[in-house]
Structure 1
Amino acid sequence: MSTAPSPLVAAVKGPAGPDVLTFAARWRGASGRPLVVVTVYPAPAPLGAGRVDAEWVAAGREEAERTLDSARAALAGTDATFRAVPAASAPRGLHEVLEAAGPGAIAVLGSRDAKGVRRTAPGSTAERLLTGAPGPVVLVPWDHEEDPQPPVRRIAVAFIDTPDGRAALEAARRLAKEVAASVDLVSVLPDTLVRPSLGEPRRFAEEQRRDYEASLQAAARPDERVRLLEGPVVDALADLRPADADLLVCGSRGYGPARRVLLGGVSARLLRSARVPVMVVPRP
């Protein structure tokens, strides 16, 4: 018996809401996943101040409903579900929604305004959710709604032959199958000042390149493309453009609780400057 696909959970609040809805609607159209639009408002405090607390909660609820009304207008004609969720904090509310949605649910969040630059920049909610989320989290660049939105065609994965790199590759393959997209395996030849103490530096660099290329080719399937970039790792990945990929998938760091998102050094810095939506997947 087939099971229903896990949902996209689009978190909307503030100016980044249209960016989130643009990405979520595009992905929902390509994949057929259910779309759940969520906004979180403050829940009553356990020891509230009576009438004052009730009025504060009511005001938060009204603001949440206005946010959802705007989302309904933006997604007119779709069968999305809209939810206002009371919680002690936005990250906690989203975490609970993801837990309830079950394995495979994907959270989609927007970026804060980083001086008008169309790159990813996590706000406080994204930063906290990206530490322990029970499923993949997508961060959409600021002003993403202004970019042309062609069909979803290419998924890139930041690949290195480690458990978290292989987990990212498997996640990218599942997503590509879901939306009928191609997969590009992308590695970066580090721009490092480390040199061998013995031997010829040029030969060392050539051997390093061959090792990286061999690792990519060994991991790739016949219908997948490989790309070996050069330069600082984060800068090279962050400069991938919408023409290069519709989504960049990367892994979590290699320690901590299994099946939870945990930002490593590369993923944390990448999320502060990427030009395309970035998905961080839980560690295996």
Structure 2
Amino acid sequence: MKYSKPIAVGVDGTSASTEAVRWAAHNAQLHDVPLVLVAAAEPVAPALAAYAVPEVYYDAGREYCEHILDQADSVVRETDSADIEVRTRLVEGGARSALLSASDRASLLVVGAPSSGRLASGLLGSVTSAVATHARCPVVVIREHVSRPRVGLVTVGVDGSPLSLKALEIAADEAASREATLDIVYAWDARGLDSADERYAQARQAVQSRLDDIVASLISTTIAAPRVTSRLVEDSPESALGKASGDCDLLVVGSRGRGGFTGMLLGSTSQSLLYSAQCPLMIVRDKYTDD
């Protein structure tokens, strides 16, 4: 995927959003596109909506958003991506609608997610799943406190479905932009098959052939093909990709795989990885429309 529009990132002043800003700034530099910092001035709580709320309440909310946007801009300027173009956007309204609106004009939307066990609040947290489900561009979720030195590896989960092949195409471009190795993981759940049974050997060979065809097709059609490795892993997709996320810089998955059904917005694998991935997680959907 060649980026033709800016990268948007949600900010709310938390450490999770700060990590998201750093990641988004680096990616904007890699793809030579502007970075848009998005903050939402939340509306009055429904319980207070019936009362006359002083204008100073709204002024304070806007001032806070301007403050955290300035902070986020400073974070960018302190990184090795300081020379990118940075834009800010303050949206009056809820966080979910602010980020979904930003996704209309972005090649990629980046959000931070609080660490496990912490109450979700503000711009990033409770809306993360909704944004990953409904955004009109691919979404990258940066889990809090999973930052680590880059290892030069982008991992993508495939299962032969059209959406996983789209995720593969995007992952290949991300790997090429980073001069990283692309690791293709095909998770095959062999439960119910005896490894000593001939049917097991036949099924495994069929899956391996499918993976080999996917790799061969990628190499033959990708102009700037990165270094490619591939693995057939006997495990559930959730488990296999969750483990793989501990060893890579970016994990790319389709929003649903072969087990999903038409109309499903976020499958069980991508939903699970939202909470378990140990690295930045990119979720790719088949359609980017106003659901």
Give the TM-score taking structure 1 as reference length.
Answer: 0.81
Which residue identity does 1:279 align to in structure 2? M
Does the CA contact (< 8 Å) of 2:150 and 2:249 recur in 1? Answer: no
Asked if 1:230 corresponds to 2:234, the answer is yes
Q: What is the CA–CA distance in structure 2 between the aligned matches of 1:45 and 1:189, rounded to whole Å?
A: 47
Report what 2:183 is aligned to: 184
Which residue identity does 1:95 align to in structure 2? L
CA distances 1:178-235 after superposition (whole Å, capped 9, x unpaired): 444432211112152x247xxx853232222222221111011345221122323212
Q: What is the CA–CA distance in structure 2 between the aligned matches of 1:269 and 1:276, rounded to whole Å?
A: 14
**C-alpha RMSD of matched pairs (Å):** 2.9
Report what 1:113 is aligned to: 115
Report what 2:95 is aligned to: 90
Q: What is the CA–CA distance in structure 2 between the aligned matches of 1:206 and 1:53, rounded to whole Å?
A: 71
Q: What is the CA–CA distance in structure 2 between the aligned matches of 1:131 and 1:272, rounded to whole Å?
A: 14
Which residue identity does 2:153 align to in structure 1? R
Q: What is the CA–CA distance in structure 2 between the aligned matches of 1:139 and 1:37, rounded to whole Å?
A: 15
Q: How many residue pairs align between the two structures?
A: 262
Q: What is the CA–CA distance in structure 2 between the aligned matches of 1:204 and 1:23, rounded to whole Å?
A: 45
Report what 2:25 is aligned to: 25
Q: What is the CA–CA distance in structure 2 between the aligned matches of 1:97 and 1:204, rounded to whole Å?
A: 50
Report what 1:251 is aligned to: 254
Q: Indicate the percent of aligned positions where both proteins have the same amino acid.
A: 28
Q: What is the CA–CA distance in structure 1 between the aligned matches of 2:64 and 2:111, rounded to whole Å?
A: 19
Q: What is the CA–CA distance in structure 2 between the aligned matches of 1:144 and 1:23, rounded to whole Å?
A: 12
Which residue identity does 2:65 align to in structure 1? A
Q: Which runs of 5+ in 1 are unaligned?
A: 117-121
Asked if 1:137 corresponds to 2:139, the answer is yes
Which residue identity does 1:56 align to in structure 2? Y
Which residue identity does 2:99 align to in structure 1? L
Q: What is the CA–CA distance in structure 2 between the aligned matches of 1:4 and 1:169, rounded to whole Å?
A: 16
CA-CA distance at 1:53 after TM superposition: 4.9
Q: What is the CA–CA distance in structure 2 between the aligned matches of 1:19 and 1:252, rounded to whole Å?
A: 23
Q: Secondary structure at the match of 1:171?
A: helix
In structure 2, the CA distance between the partners of 1:148 and 1:275, relative to structure 1 (3 Å rule), is same
Q: Secondary structure at the match of 1:92?
A: helix
Does the CA contact (< 8 Å) of 2:6 and 2:35 recur in 1? Answer: yes
CA distances 1:16-40 after superposition (whole Å, capped 9, x unpaired): 1121022112222322221111111
Structure 1 segment 23-102 matched on structure 2, within 5 A: 23-43=23-43, 52-76=53-77, 77-78=82-83, 79-87=85-93, 89-99=94-104, 101=105
Which residue identity does 2:98 align to in structure 1? G
